[in-house]
Structure 1
């Protein structure tokens, strides 16, 4: 059984772990990025996801690179007086906070070195049938040589993200849905202790920082704020606006100095002074343009299966995207281990029957949360 995973992000690497755990001997991941590099910002891992990662031999890495978020607090801030009032507080939240890059590196380092093929961009796919049964041919452009090569496999796992080329191949008329707002994001590293007064004021304004996920509601917007391992503060601020013009090769919009200055001006009117000072002091904030997708009717087409954001792009409000991807991978691996490679169709059908209804509800619920907030 040779499995080709399209995508070397968190979903793709998680699938590689799950497939190796299921007994697959040949797993390759094709990733268009040329190298492993730091990217992204903060995310939250739920207990089920942490358990799955531990089963893949990553328990110690989780403990070393995450911090527990035991509290989930929703509060509201009056933009004029900066007065804050707690609306809801859950002290049994039981998530763990980490940085996207830390989780990605953790997954990558635990895989065999020849699993991920960097600089391999998928151009097209084709399902085939020969004497060995059903399979796939993947046409790939290799960045280092500029040549196009063909990769054969018995199964193709599409983990190529929200703008999935594989999904478009099977459902070409179903398009991403702009949610009506974007998310400014940033990470502030205070490990060098070069801004002690600002950090002290932040910790005074947010006394449970280091164990709490703060949602702060303000007029026509809201923000998210929490601490990550390594003395890094992660913030996210939503901006309601018309859909930006996108090239659609990334969901991160390019921002210039003028856009950042405008964001700072708006943040000064809405955020409490302590959070505004942190936002203004953060180097290289970036803008995520937010989309989701109407739930699909299927995730499997013969020997092609969708996982993660390729299967169910979602808004960030339910803290579900990364967790959904890793759980997808785990269920896929367990289904293959249960039914074996000679009953791969049954295994894929079981994966679809388990994950499709759950993720569809989570996408719609996350959309509803975003609308309310």
Structure 2
């Protein structure tokens, strides 16, 4: 009985993106044995097109604890000390300043770079690459869960028993669908193209010189350009790369949607930061209550995170509609960047996102 009490609790995390790896770090720090299941055959490498992302100070503090050396994160990021919004007249090829924040405190990274440093800070056997989640079965006493997996290279079927199952498999989560099968994702009313442009080999080209002239503070500035029915985002990443996103109003496309841990519209730089703080709070709650009181730990986790995430998702959704010139309700007038003044623009500034300064990590 004494040996049973001291048995190391085990967690299975489905999804090996940044959210899943963050949960692994948080649970390992509390003494849990963790296995991450990821259907990709191997870790991402190199610098594919991918995407850039921005990290708030609180999320960076959490990551630095996992990495053990603040210089690691610092070396793969660039500062974003300025947030700048401007209206663009495409016909006249002019721009007009809407608002500017010179006290922005984020840093930006390429998704692959951030994933790589978080992954390398884990023990080598933590992630099972090339394994696909198939199903789950909860024990009658709800004390354990059996997860069925498929090894993609061999088609072998495995079963793994754990005390805790974490669904980090995105907004299209099979695990979430198991518990709330009637939940449907809702189209935002607009779509986006995004990418990363590598100009390291062509730094003196006319295109890059033109971009640098139009956006002179690239390298430490988050730019937003607005026109009627669309807007774009631009910021620079390490190794001479430009991250760009272009949003445009359009009917719902007949294609598979993007998949992220938090299905927030990406206007408030929140999704990755939300996932990191999710992991941090989960670890703190489990550490506080211990594995023998897992239900209470999860109740506290929900009590801490649900109000924060709800407000940030709703704020992000509202910001997206405003920036695209879409009505929030039947009575609201749309945001027009051509006529907007400073008072009209405060709602699209990052600083006005709920819990911008500090996200609570306990009740």
What residue number does 2:258 align with? Answer: 251
The reply on whether 1:210 has 2:219 as its aligned counterpart is: yes
What residue number does 1:319 align with? Answer: 269
What residue number does 1:259 align with? Answer: none
What residue number does 1:102 align with? Answer: 113
The reply on whether 1:67 has 2:78 as its aligned counterpart is: yes
Among 225, 236, 248, the alignment partner of 2:245 is: 236
CA shift for structure 1 position 195: 4.3
Q: Is the 8 A contact 1:125 1:137 kept in 2?
A: yes
The reply on whether 1:51 has 2:61 as its aligned counterpart is: yes
CA shift for structure 1 position 227: 0.3
The reply on whether 1:28 has 2:35 as its aligned counterpart is: yes
The reply on whether 1:345 has 2:295 as its aligned counterpart is: yes
Q: Is the 8 A contact 1:99 1:228 kept in 2?
A: yes
Q: What is the TM-score of this pair, normalised by structure 2?
A: 0.83
Measured in 1, the distance between the counterparts of 2:263 and 2:305 equals 14
Q: RMSD over aligned Cα, in angstroms?
A: 1.4
Measured in 1, the distance between the counterparts of 2:203 and 2:83 equals 29
Measured in 1, the distance between the counterparts of 2:81 and 2:104 equals 5
Measured in 2, the distance between the counterparts of 1:153 and 1:129 equals 14
Larger strand share, 1 or 2: 1
Measured in 2, the distance between the counterparts of 1:19 and 1:51 equals 17
How many residues align? The count is 311
Q: What is the SS of the residue equivalent to 1:318?
A: coil
- For residues 146-185 of structure 1, what are the structure 2 equivalents within 5 Å? 146-185=155-194
Q: What is the TM-score of this pair, normalised by structure 1?
A: 0.81
Among 27, 49, 59, the alignment partner of 1:19 is: 27
Measured in 1, the distance between the counterparts of 2:190 and 2:308 equals 25
Among 69, 87, 101, the alignment partner of 2:98 is: 87
* Residue-by-residue CA offset, 1:199-257 (whole Å, 9 max, x unaligned): 222111111110000010012100000001111111100121111212x4x628xxxxx
What residue number does 1:355 align with? Answer: 305
* Residue-by-residue CA offset, 1:243-291 (whole Å, 9 max, x unaligned): 1212x4x628xxxxxxxxxxxxxxxxxxxxxxxxxxxxxxxxxxxxxxx
Q: What is the SS of the residue equivalent to 1:111?
A: coil
Measured in 2, the distance between the counterparts of 1:368 and 1:70 equals 24
Q: Is the 8 A contact 1:79 1:219 kept in 2?
A: no
Inter-CA distance 58–182: structure 2 relative to 1 (3 Å threshold): farther
Measured in 2, the distance between the counterparts of 1:196 and 1:338 equals 56
